[in-house]
Amino acid sequence: MSIMRRMSDVFQQKVTKVLDRAEDPVEAIDLSYQKQLEALQQVRRSVAEVLTSEKRLEMQAAQLQQSDARLQSQAKLALQQGREDLAKLALTRAQNAKGQLDALQQQIVQMKDQEQKLEITAQKLQAKVESFRTQRETLKAQYSAAQASTKIGEAVTGLSDQMADVTMMTERAQDRITQMQARASAIDQLVDSGTLDQIGISSGDDIDRQLQASVTDASVDAQLAALKQDLLPAPAPQAPRLAAGDGAPVPAPVQPDPPAGAVVVRIHGEDQFRLGAGERPRLDQLDQAVAVAVDSGDADQFRSALTGMLDFVRGHGERLPSDGLTASDLVLPSDDMTLDEARGLLGDAGRVVDAGTTPAPA
């Protein structure tokens, strides 16, 4: 045997003897048990993290479902207003939202599978830790029989401290999970109530703003026509003509036949107006705007749309004499009609221009 080989063997023997003397089986067992506890705690944290990610994905899926429903409603409303381009845009966004929702559903399924695997691993590791704890106590009792009381007391004290740390970490993890669940529930409630959609400079998205713009334009056009009508000079009143000989007033002349396609409109509680055939499409658009406002339940929008329609009739229609005998084709509600009254009338008549009163001769 060479000198170098012998020196290596002697060195290994000395080091092994020092290590054997320094190594404490009880400490080695405790360290192994602590490592197992740390591994168990790590698995539990992983389960909590996976569950948190799963809840976050479920929350995103719920938001996408709500977005899809809102976009479908916007598409219907856009079609009712004749905005096929907006309806197509809303349906395109809804289709994208569905694609994202499908991807999220797959991720949620994967997260659930991973969560179940981690829970099974945690259960197996928990059983192993419990079994090792029993074996550890037995080995410690066999190793330190002479110092059983002191060693076991110190071990129990150390174990209690470790279990306290584990319990504290478990409680903190549970508090964090509870906090995240409460936050997710609060966000879902805010999304359902529409509060989150109102954060920013203005509420709604670009589709809502474009749909609202058509109603606003109709109201502005009607108000502009009313201002033009106010600027026209009022017609001078005509004195009744007297019949020759007896001084009795001559009967009012019979109204000439209206132009083809003209429509006679009465504002409930006011005069009659004759609109030309070219004004009827605009009247139908304003009527549709009032119906949309009634369906939305927005009192301010209803008031603005109704005022715009009445102002349009007053500004573009020919006011008929109050002593005429012209039958009304359409009857509009008065300015003081409320949203609830309009809802009740629309439930029976279906259109605002047919919901004032039954058309009757003036």
Q: Which residues contact 303 (CB under 8 A, 6 or more apart)?
A: none
Least confident of 98-112, 155-169, 292-306, 335-349: 155-169
Mean pLDDT for the chain?
Answer: 78
Task: Flag whether pLDDT at 294 surpasses 80.
Answer: yes
So what's the pLDDT on residue 3? Answer: 85
Residue 234's pLDDT band (boundaries 50, 70, 90)? Answer: very low
pLDDT at 177: 93
Provide the pLDDT for residue 19: 79
> For residue 246, what pLDDT is reported?
43
- Tell me the average pLDDT across 4-10: 84
Provide CB contacts within 8 A for 143, sequence distance 6+.
25, 26
Percentage of the chain beyond pLDDT 90 is: 9
Q: What's the mean pLDDT in 111-129?
A: 88
Query: What mean pLDDT do residues 276-283 have?
Result: 88
Tell me the angle at which helices 148-193 and 84-143 cross, rounded to the nearest 10 degrees: 170
The residue-averaged pLDDT of 246-262 equals: 54
Segment 194-209, tens digit of pLDDT: 666 545 445 555 566 6
Query: In the prediction, which pLDDT does 245 show?
Result: 40
pLDDT in tens, 69-96: 998 898 889 889 888 888 889 889 988 9
Give the residue, 67 or 359, on which the prediction is more confident.
67
Best-predicted range by mean pLDDT among 225-229, 260-264, 299-303? 299-303
- Angle formed at CA 286 by CA 284 and CA 290, multiple of 5 degrees: 110
Across 23-32, 300-309, 349-358, the highest mean pLDDT is recorded for 300-309
What's the average model confidence in pLDDT over 143-164?
68
What's the pLDDT at 240? 42
Domain locations in the chain as residue ranges: 3-196, 206-230+259-354
Q: Where are the alpha helices (DSSP H) in 255-352?
A: 280-296, 299-316, 339-349
DSSP per-residue string spanning 101-113: HHHHHHHHHHHHH
